[in-house]
Structure 1
Amino acid sequence: MAAAETWLLLLLSLFIPASGGWTGWTEGQTVLALASWSGLEGERLFCGSRSHNIKVWRKEAVREEDVKLRETIRGTEVQAADAVYGGWVDEADLEGHVGRVEALAVSGGRLYSGSSDGTVRVWGCGDLKCQRVVDAHQDAVMALCLWEEGGSVVSGSLDGSVKTWREASMEGGLEMRPPPFSANPHTGEQRPPGVRCMLATRGGLAFGGYLDCTVRAWDL
């Protein structure tokens, strides 16, 4: 995940115009996800926002006539080239959430979105249609990650819960062992600390970062 996030930051720095950047939002962006596979022409960048929607940008495919050899590094097989892209096209707005879009994840041609409305939505990356809506948590869904080996989606919420779901169908909702309650420093209310970020490994481990400054791990 760290490498993918770094790549996305690099991608944004390369393609956002220096004159002012991309437009199309009424409020700030919260999360990014990139989709690219053989069944999709070009790539799609999904941007979740505080205005409850998911902005979709499509990168047009490289045109062969626009690819120019820039440099050959002697003694290796590495070549560098400049390519002119059609650019990033503002393609669509995915609407349906009634709260901020806080989390995005992409797998198997599907986009998963988590929102402060407590739901997780499943979208087709190709047709951009909503396939399923799940009332996942009692508070905001702040994190989503994918355990591809097990075909599972893992969601984390401000209500302190972490749940696993089967991909596509989003059936299951198995809740992982919750952390112990802690007192809210402002209200004194006793409740589990909220989840802010999630990561799943190929070995079947899930890690959750909590607002009480702890990281917890589970076997999936």
Structure 2
Amino acid sequence: MKRDHSPVLPGDGATDYARYMRTDTLLDLQRRPEEMIHRDELLFQVVHQSTELWLKLAAAELTEAVARVHAGEPAAAEPLLARAALGVRLVTDQLEMFRYLSPADFEAMQPALGKGSGAESPGWRQVQAASRQLGRAFTDHLAAHGIALATLRATDPTNPVHLLAEAMVEWDERVSLWRARHYQVALRIGGHAATGAEATMLAKLVGHRFFPELWQARVKSVQG
């Protein structure tokens, strides 16, 4: 008996896969060949558009983690942070595609980018906001339960609050590595060496922390 593959979901597309994933819309979001001034615009857009999708997911996981912490459920928040961190690791890994974009090709396609900058990324702004909310929620949770940050490292490593703190540090590190790697790639395909000002900027990217108090507590626990 022949199986009926006709779609049952509403929307555009010849199959339910196309309708659910909205592939017609998704694959139409890149500039068409006749619109491009350089063929590597497709590479550039695919990397950055997929980055926005991963950041959207990461921000959603962080937002849910904040809600779980507010609800007094740190154990439920910890795996959400792990998922967000994995998303940023994948964002970092895909920057390897830019190894195949030469400075000359990037310069040729730059007019198509206008005045666009990665600093304008809506996904990054959402991630920043959600990370700050998480930091405040975690601090409030510690205060509400009478937990001193200085003693957190000495608690049972299987304690949900300890595990959440470790996940927050992992998230912080993943974001820092992504930002530093992104900046190095920008220097590479921009075709110029890091000046003193650029080196200072890179140092700030590497040194940025959403949760500096957690890092300080780790250092103090080792020194103590």
Measured against the shorter chain, the TM-score band is under 0.3
1 or 2, which has the higher strand percentage? 1
Rg larger in structure: 2
1 or 2, which has the higher helix percentage? 2
Q: TM-score, normalised by structure 1?
A: 0.21
Q: TM-score, normalised by structure 2?
A: 0.21
